A = this chain, B = another copy of it.
Amino acid sequence: MENFTFYAPTYFVFGKEQEKETGKYVKRFGGTKVLIHYGGGSVIRSGLLERVKQSLDKENIAYVELGGAQPNPRDGLVYQGIDLCRAENVDFILAVGGGSAIDSAKAIAAGAKYDGDFWDFYSGKTVEKDMALPIGTVLTIAAAGSEGSPDSVITKEDGMYKRGASGEGMRPVFSILNPELTQTLPPYHTAAGITDIMAHLLERYFTNTKNVEAIDRIIEGHLLAMINEAPKVIANPNDYEARANIMWTGMMAHNNSCGVGRQQDWASHDIEHELSAEYDCIHGAGLAVVFPNWMRYTYKHNVMRFAQLATRVWGCQMDFENPERTALEGIARYRRFLTSIGMPETLAELGGREEDIEKMAHRAAYGNGRAGTIGGFVPLGEKEIAEIYRMML
């Protein structure tokens, strides 16, 4: 195990009807003038936005609003939000929505207190250091884990570059998680969220660090829980209990409690980011196509780690004479699980085209200030990334 620090001070409020307490928590964490940031019309149609506003009114907290955060949130709206915060002397950002609204809110929060261009945080020019406006969230989608993480991903419209930033000030001070709010999510989006959650776990699972049993076992536990709960919620979208188990796992999968003390991989996320930047597909759906192929490409690097995952999580029998067969059977079961919940298997299903592969591989390898390789478990260059894209055809 490697040395590490771990600090996850978000205050979580979990359960039915808890969004009605939003105003109370904004007040507790010092907000007096709030920017409510959200995505499309669903939070309006469902009445959620109204309930949140009522809770702010109850505490006499003033607010302005900015909607329009879209999946793969764009820099244009972030600039609008920053201007609005400055014009209105906003001192607290409240994101109401899924990972996109929250990631966009984090960019606004960091940019509002920064003299330069907020994109500096995403281009790698500078790092956010606990100076952003405080952020609270009311989560509506179990997927990104942004509600408990210091991370944010934004797409630059000029060139459609999708890039990430991380900073302690971008970690929400509170997050309200009401599983009821996820019950109206369409099955495809629900499944994509589940896929994203599992990918956050797997990116941390594939490591070259030895003697990491304690965290391996938690990751495996989270994955087993998702495999148990996912079919319930696909069969019955109103299954509150399954939604609750998935929603809380989504937070734990990405607050780095599963990543401490070990090298991590993250190549699959980088490879997927080019897909959702290029084709505007849902991140989780992109990961469903990328991750099994990344596994097929890399498993020989450590067959026994793949066999461990296959036996402990996917219920495969260990073939002690041929561990490779077990490793591959685990990957096959993962793939079958993803298709069973309605996720795609091929680039074509995402709207992808073979002729874009070279371009995407180049951007994955060299974008975001990278020096030509991605991935911790198995470093991949432009050529290897292109081969993985081709496996998705």
A positions within 8 Å CB-CB of B: 1-16, 18, 210-218, 220-222, 224-225, 228-229, 241-242, 244-246, 248-249, 252, 257, 260-261
Contact = CB atoms under 8 A, between A and B. Distances in A.
Given A4-B14, A212-B245, 4 more contacts: A1-B15, A214-B246, A218-B222, A252-B257
The 6 closest A-B pairs by CB, nearest first: A3-B15, A9-B9, A217-B221, A221-B221, A211-B241, A214-B245
A12 B6 CA distance: 5
B213 A217 contact: no
A12 B5 contact: yes
Select the residue from A8, A9, A214, A261 with max chain B CB neighbours within 10 A: A214
Given A211-B244, A213-B225, A217-B224, A3 B14 contact: yes
B14 A261 contact: yes
Contacts of A221: 217-218, 220-221
A95 to B, nearest CB: 19
A214 B210 contact: no
Given A4-B15, A18-B3, A222 B229 contact: no
Contacts of A15: 1-4, 261
Contacts of A220: 221
A4 to B, nearest CB: 5
A217 B224 CA distance: 7
Given A217-B224, A222-B214, A14 B9 contact: no
Contacts of A9: 7-9
Contacts of A6: 11-12, 14
A249 B214 CA distance: 7
Nearest to A10: B7
Nearest to A17: B3
Nearest to A4: B14
Contacts of A245: 1, 211-214
Given A3-B16, A4-B14, A248 B261 contact: yes
Nearest to A3: B15
A8 B7 CA distance: 9
Contacts of A12: 5-7
A275 B115 CA distance: 62
A11 B1 contact: no
A214 B225 contact: yes
Contact of A257 (B210, B225, B257): B257
A373 B331 CA distance: 50
B18 A241 contact: no
A210 to B, nearest CB: 7
Given A218-B221, A220-B221, A257-B257, A13 B8 contact: no
A260 B13 CA distance: 11
A217 to B, nearest CB: 4
Contacts of A213: 225, 228-229, 245
Select the residue from A1, A224, A225, A244 with max chain B CB neighbours within 10 A: A1
15 contacts: A1-B15, A2-B15, A3-B14, A3-B18, A7-B10, A14-B260, A14-B261, A15-B261, A211-B244, A213-B228, A214-B229, A215-B248, A217-B221, A217-B225, A218-B218
Contact of A244 (B241, B257, B261): B261
